[in-house]
Amino acid sequence: SETSLTGIKPTGEPHLGNFVGAIRPALELTKQYESIYFIADYHALTTIRDPKLLRHYTRSVAATWLAAGLDPSRTVMYRQSDIPEIFELHWALSCVTAKGLMNRAHAYKAARDKNAATGREDLDAGINMGLYNYPVLMAVDILIMESDVVPVGKDQVQHVEYAADIAGSFNHLYGDSYEFKIPKAIVPEADTGRTLPGLDGRKMSKSYDNTIPLFLPEAQLRKLVRRIPTDSTPVEAPKDPDSSAVFQILQQFATQDVITDTRKRLMAGGVGWGELKNQLFEVLNQEITPLRERYHALMEPDSELDALLAEGAQRARERAQRVLRSVRSAIGIDTER
Ligand code: TYM
């Protein structure tokens, strides 16, 4: 069967946006695909400079996958850093990647635009080579596991296209000897509906510092839900559900009946934002509570988490080694490992 692969960068506590945009849809694909999940800890190094924090976030992402229902006996889950083959292939693929392609990458361009906007003379100020090379490393993640599909949110689609592009360059040169599979992004249908808004109304994102972490204690979850922005429409007045961040989040967690009913009640007027927020809190808390308990158990230092990661790494390495052996031979590196 075809292979699906996806990764999450351990740069913060997993949040509702990751859950809705990546974790839940990727877990759904387990039914159809041979599924691979990993924690992109070396990718996180472009921004996380505190080793304790990197360790914590890395375990936290792994625990989140498991708490959300990943079945380690039917899927592969590993830490990127446990697969040294990735870094060997990274160099080989860097050498077939056009520098111009990297110049056009969204994240790199955004960082330069920010420098321009703040009047910096050197547009590359504060940009490290990790950020610049980021798309090549991500291409390697995808290609080394011979992935057919890559479920991601909209913001990562360019990266998957780059992976396809880089695979094409390699195949063009060495295809007689070894061909990479050309991967395709899968974006959860109606992604606009699934790009979850955060606490400032913009896309929920660790880099905007506007997230609602998945596994907050109940009281804090309630507090953050209260902070989701709303307009000043009075309680009695009819409201437009689709322009409300609270409703957009509710839509991702409530049952179809509840969504339809709430939509009607908002449009009729008489429901205040405070009431809607209480409803959202209840719905969220009900869905998250069992996951939260599993998560905290897995985060204990002596849980089965580390053994599961080690086992996943072993299975992933076997795959990576197989591909790398073919690649080495195709490019003319005759090291035997
Ligand atoms: P990361 O860690 O930023 O995000 C993980 C996944 O969550 C999705 N996502 C969202 N979806 C909907 N609404 C939101 N508000 C939201 N916020 C995040 C992202 O699109 C992503 O799918 N570069 C990747 C990690 C990575 C990777 C890979 C992914 C490294 N190598 C190989 C797939 C394949 C990243 O930074 O994701």
All structural domains of the chain: 3-195+304-331 (3.40.50.620), 215-296 (1.10.240.10)
User: Residue 194: its pLDDT value, please?
Assistant: 62
Q: Is the CB of 7 under 6 A from ligand 1?
A: yes
**Cα 43 from Cα 286, distance rounded (Å):** 33
Element (H, E) at 6: strand 3-8
Q: Is the CB of 90 under 6 A from ligand 1?
A: no
User: Residue 191: its pLDDT value, please?
Assistant: 47
Residue 258, CA atoms < 13 Å, CB-side half-sphere: 15
**Cα 167 from Cα 183, distance rounded (Å):** 9
| DSSP count for the chain of H helices, then E strands | 15, 5
Residue with tokens 């990727």: 26
Instruction: Tell me the average pLDDT across 142-169.
Output: 96
- Which of 5, 9, 194 to mutate for ligand 1's pocket (most ligand atoms within 8 Å of CB)? 9
Instruction: Tell me the average pLDDT across 300-327.
Output: 97
Instruction: Tell me the average pLDDT across 154-160.
Output: 94
Task: State pTM to two decimals.
Answer: 0.92
Closest to 18 measured CA to CA, from 54, 75, 57: 57
Q: Which of 34-38, 137-141, 240-244 has the lowest mean pLDDT?
A: 240-244
Instruction: Tell me the average pLDDT across 279-300.
Output: 97
Region for 300 from its dihedrals, namely left if φ exceeds 0, alpha if ψ lies in -120 to 50, beta otherwise: beta
Query: Is residue 193's pLDDT more than 80?
Result: no
Query: Is residue 182's pLDDT more than 50?
Result: yes
Rounded to the nearest angstrom, the distance between the alpha carbon of 290 and the centre of ligand 1 is: 24
Q: CB of 153 within 8 A of CB of 185?
A: no
Angle, helices 51-67/305-331, rounded to nearest 10 degrees = 100
Whose C-alpha lies nearest to ligand 1, atom 36? 9
Query: Is residue 108's pLDDT more than 80?
Result: yes
